[in-house]
Amino acid sequence: MKYTYSKIFNLDGVYNVVCNTADTRSGFKHVAVLHRNGGSIAETKICYLNRTWERFTYESVLNKVIQENFDGVEREKYLDVIKAINY
């Protein structure tokens, strides 16, 4: 699969998320891969038909990967990190 764009979001010294954009047959998708200490531990994707209405690129897929893999205080902490990075 050929990715057309990618970006790394550092959550802290342990976790980061690598986000990629790839073309699909009917549009494109954003893929987020969650890493802990450099190793991949989870992946999620969102497919789009034409464009997104996100405040920043990868907003939805970042929120999704954090929601799916963290709970409670840790979840809120990482959601706040993502907001701070992109505002």
pLDDT tens for each residue of 44-65 = 999 999 887 888 889 999 999 9
Q: How many domains does the chain have?
A: 1
Q: What is the pTM of this model?
A: 0.89
Which residue range is the domain that position 64 belongs to?
3-85
Cα 66 to Cα 9, 42, 56, distances in angstroms: 12, 10, 16
Taking the CA atoms of residue 36, residue 75, residue 80 and residue 20 in that order, the dihedral angle to the nearest 10 degrees is 50
Q: Residue 78 is encoded by which pair of tokens?
A: 């990482």
Q: What is the CATH number of the domain that holds 67?
A: 3.10.450
pLDDT tens for each residue of 15-49 = 999 999 999 998 999 999 999 999 999 999 999 99
pLDDT at 15: 97
